[in-house]
A and B are shown apart, each in its own frame.
Chain A
Amino acid sequence: MMDNTQEQDFEPRILGFLCNWCCYAGADLAGVSRFQYPPNMRVIRVMCSAKVDPIYVMKALLSGVDGVFIGGCHIGDCHYIRGNFYARRRATMIKKVLEILGLEPERFRLEWVSASEGAIFAEVMKDFTQKIKGLGPSPLRKEIKSGQGSK
Chain B
Amino acid sequence: MQASGAAARAEATLAPVRGSLVKEREFPTELDVVGQEPRIGAFICHCGINIGGYVDVPQVVEYVKTLPNVAFAEENLYTCSQDTQEIIKAMIKEHNLNRVVVASCTPRTHEPLFQQTVREAGLNPYLFEMANIRDQCSWVHMNEKEAATEKAKDLVRMAVAKARLLTPLKELAVGVTNRALVIGGGIAGMTAAIELASQGFECFLIERQGELGGNSRRVHETLEKGNVQELLENTIQRVEESKLIHVFTNAKTKEIDGFVGNFKTTIESNGQEHTLEHGVIIVASGGEEYEPTEYQYGKHERVLTQLELEQQLATDSLQADNLNSIVMIQCVGSRNEEKPYCSRICCSQAVKNALKIKEKNPKAKVYILYRDMRTYGFREDFYREAKAKGVIFIRYDEDHEPQVRTKKGKFEVEVLDLILNKKIVLNPDFLVLSVGIVPQSEREELAKMLKVPLNEDGFFLEAHVKLRPVEFATEGVFVCGLAHSPKPLSENISQAQAAAAKAAVLLSKDSVVSGGYVAEIDKEKCKGCGLCVQACYFGAISSNEELGVSEVNPVLCKGCGNCAAICPSGACQIAGFRDEQILSQVEAYI
Contact = CB atoms under 8 A, between A and B. Distances in A.
A42 B154 contact: yes
Contacts of B559: 47
Interface of B: 63, 106-108, 132, 134-137, 139-144, 147-148, 150-151, 153-155, 157-158, 463, 473, 517, 535, 537-538, 558-562, 564-566, 574, 577, 579, 582-583, 585-587, 589-590
B139 A83 contact: no
A148 B590 CA distance: 9
B106 to A, nearest CB: 5
A42 B148 CA distance: 11
Nearest to B566: A86
Given A42-B151, A60-B590, A80-B537, A28 B562 contact: no
A48 B101 CA distance: 22
Nearest to A21: B108
B558 A80 contact: yes
Interface of A: 11, 13, 15, 20, 24-25, 27-28, 30-32, 34-39, 42-48, 50-56, 59-60, 63-65, 79-83, 86, 90, 122, 147-150
B136 A48 contact: no
Shortest 6 CB-CB contacts between residues of A and residues of B:
A51-B561, A31-B135, A80-B560, A50-B562, A31-B139, A48-B560
A147 B588 CA distance: 12
Contacts of A32: 135, 139
Nearest to B141: A39
Name which of B106, B517, B535, B564 has the most chain A CB atoms within 10 A of its CB: B106
Nearest to B106: A28
A20 B538 CA distance: 19
A83 B558 CA distance: 12
A65 B585 CA distance: 13
A65 B587 CA distance: 10
15 contacts: A24-B108, A28-B135, A31-B135, A36-B142, A46-B577, A47-B577, A48-B561, A48-B562, A59-B583, A59-B586, A59-B587, A60-B589, A64-B590, A81-B537, A90-B565
Among A46, A53, A79, find the residue whose CB has the most chain B CB atoms closer than 10 A.
Answer: A53
Contact of B586 (A28, A48, A60): A60
A36 B150 contact: no
Contacts, number: 139
A148 B135 CA distance: 21
B150 A150 contact: yes
B134 A65 contact: no
Contacts of A90: 565
A148 B154 contact: yes
Nearest to A125: B140
Contacts of A81: 463, 473, 537
A39 B143 CA distance: 10
A79 B108 CA distance: 15
Nearest to B562: A50
Contact of A34 (B137, B139, B144, B585): B139
A2 B322 CA distance: 94
Contact of A56 (B142, B144, B574, B583): B583
Nearest to B574: A51
Given A50-B560, A51-B560, A149-B154, A39 B144 contact: yes
A44 B582 contact: yes
Contact of B562 (A42, A54, A86, A122): A86
Contacts of B517: 47
A116 B269 CA distance: 52
A34 B589 CA distance: 25
A24 B140 CA distance: 14
A70 B590 CA distance: 17
A37 B135 CA distance: 12
Nearest to A59: B586
B140 A15 contact: no
Given A30-B140, A81-B473, 5 more contacts: A36-B142, A47-B574, A48-B561, A55-B579, A64-B590
A31 B140 contact: yes
B583 A50 contact: no
Contacts of B154: 42, 148-149
A86 B590 contact: no
Nearest to A54: B565
Given A32-B135, A83-B560, A45 B107 contact: yes
Contacts of A47: 517, 559-561, 574, 577
Nearest to A82: B537
Contact of B589 (A36, A82, A149): A149
A24 B566 CA distance: 23
Contacts of B108: 20, 24-25, 28
A24 B132 CA distance: 10
Contacts of B153: 147-148
Contacts of A54: 565
A34 B54 CA distance: 12
Given A30-B140, A80-B537, A56 B562 contact: no
Nearest to B563: A50
Given A42-B589, A55-B579, A59-B583, A150 B562 contact: no
Nearest to B162: A44
Contacts of B473: 81
Nearest to B463: A81
A44 B158 contact: yes
B565 A53 contact: yes
B565 A51 contact: yes
A150 B141 CA distance: 13
Contacts of A86: 535, 562, 565-566
A43 B162 CA distance: 13
A19 B228 CA distance: 50
Contacts of A44: 158, 582, 585-586
Contacts of B135: 27-28, 30-32
